[in-house]
A and B are shown apart, each in its own frame.
Chain A
Amino acid sequence: MHWCGVRRVAAMVAFACVAFACPGTVGAASIPDNLSSSLSYKVIGTITPSCAVSQPTSDVQVVGLQNPSSDAVQSTDTDLTFTVSCTAPVKVSMSSAKGGLKTDGTTSDRDFASTVDYKATLDMPGASDALECRSDQMVNGGAGCTKQLPNPAFEGDGRIRIHTAAASDLLLAGTYNDTVTLTISPQLAGDGQGEGNE
């Protein structure tokens, strides 16, 4: 057996051969000629693209949902405003906790609506109507209401416009409410841009 005869063994094995006499070896041990007195490392740092959103208020009233003459649902537009800053293309999604403006009140009379559907339209700075969804599409964390935007970056004011359409349904006494969540995810890597509501 010739330990030092194996050229591809690790350096520690080679040093072992120097410290202890190798059977069958005659004279001084040879030092590999490929050793280096310095080491170099390639260090790569990645700065994660990010987005920031600030909103002037998180509690928004829908004014005039009830037609004072007919007591039915009437057309309204309510803006959920925000300021956004993103350093990369983004994927946006809008989610609804209840799938519409919903009240806890109930009745077996179908003349009344316990849920008022709405349409949500997202305007990003430089990208009007970037995403539009019905409230019933926005449930399940907004999985049915998401889109990748091609803009390289965003900076400025935006809004989600909540639109209720006039309907013949009567409204129950109480509070109709929903929680709308806007999620903006900066893209780190990948090819191409997504299309439409995923």
Chain B
Amino acid sequence: MKKLIFAVAAASTMLATPALADTNWQGKTYGQDAWGVYQVSSNVTSFCKFGTDNSGGEGVNGTSDTSFMGGAQEADGRFSLNIQNTSDDTVQAANATYNIAYAVCNSPFTMQLSSTNGGLQSSQTTSDGAFIENVPYDVKFTFDGNHANSKSSDIAGGFQTVTSVDEARAGAASVQVLVNPRDKLLLEGSYSDTLQARLSPNLGA
């Protein structure tokens, strides 16, 4: 009999515990609940954008600025490189960097580059191999810690995907153009190219 009494007392204690823990609702019961269930959603489209706070800078034998096409508003600009060694008239080292203060890709994306001429193309021609008609250059395209480096000859003829990034990123970007010295003579006139750097969202990613 002592064991039975003890067991009943213990059971009473356990039953009482939940009620003590929730005294505000003690004694209330509820009937049939009414439910409303809502699926709430908002769609965000993929995009990559360059900001408008952009600027040129001064490098070695070269500068960059925003005085081209859409200018800073479109992250467009111009590189002016002095590639002629005035001592021997060969190609000398030159570089400059264009700074994009802010860019965003809100989905995985690729970093792409394109060069119209595959290098700095002279407006003149010659059959003499001592001269160089197309001066190749290197491109270093960076965006929020990601890098897309390429040679101008590798990005000729349309956009080439240099780097794929598997997540959204936001931050600063830059484009640097570097010409290396060469033992070639330069033709009179201008050497030019159109370089394009692009961030392209992976649609459906």
Contact = CB atoms under 8 A, between A and B. Distances in A.
Interface of A: 48-53, 55, 58-63, 65-66, 71, 78, 80, 82, 84, 86, 88, 91, 101, 103, 105-109, 111-112, 148, 160, 162, 170-191, 194, 198
Contact of B32 (A58, A111, A186): A186
Given A48-B32, A173-B107, A188-B31, A111 B170 contact: yes
Contacts of B40: 60-62, 78, 80, 101, 162, 177-180
Contacts of A176: 41-44
Nearest to A49: B31
Residues of B in contact with A, size category: 35 or more
B29 A175 contact: no
Interface of B: 24-47, 49, 104, 106-107, 144, 167-171, 201, 205
21 contacts: A59-B39, A60-B41, A61-B41, A61-B43, A62-B41, A65-B42, A71-B106, A101-B40, A105-B107, A109-B170, A170-B106, A171-B106, A172-B44, A173-B205, A177-B39, A178-B40, A184-B35, A185-B33, A186-B34, A187-B31, A194-B24
Nearest to A57: B38
B167 A106 contact: yes
A105 B31 CA distance: 41
B35 A175 contact: no
Contacts of A189: 27-29
Contacts of A172: 44, 106-107, 168
Q: Chain A binding site: helix, strand, loop or mixed by DSSP?
A: strand
Contacts of B167: 106-109
Contacts of B26: 190
B47 to A, nearest CB: 7
A60 B26 CA distance: 37
B13 to A, nearest CB: 24
A14 B78 CA distance: 118
A48 B38 CA distance: 27
Nearest to B204: A173
Nearest to B27: A190
B41 A175 contact: yes
Contacts of A191: 27
Chain A CB within 10 Å, residue with most, of B35, B36, B45, B201: B36
B52 to A, nearest CB: 11
A61 B37 CA distance: 14
Contacts of A78: 40
Given A171-B106, A173-B46, A60 B30 contact: no
Chain A CB within 10 Å, residue with most, of B31, B47, B169: B31
Given A112-B106, A170-B104, A177 B28 contact: no
Given A51-B32, A53-B34, A107 B168 contact: yes
Contact of A65 (B30, B39, B44, B170): B44
Contact of A173 (B25, B39, B144, B168): B168
Given A71-B104, A173-B201, A186-B30, 16 more contacts: A48-B32, A51-B31, A51-B32, A58-B38, A60-B38, A60-B41, A66-B42, A107-B168, A111-B170, A170-B170, A172-B168, A179-B40, A180-B37, A186-B31, A190-B28, A198-B24
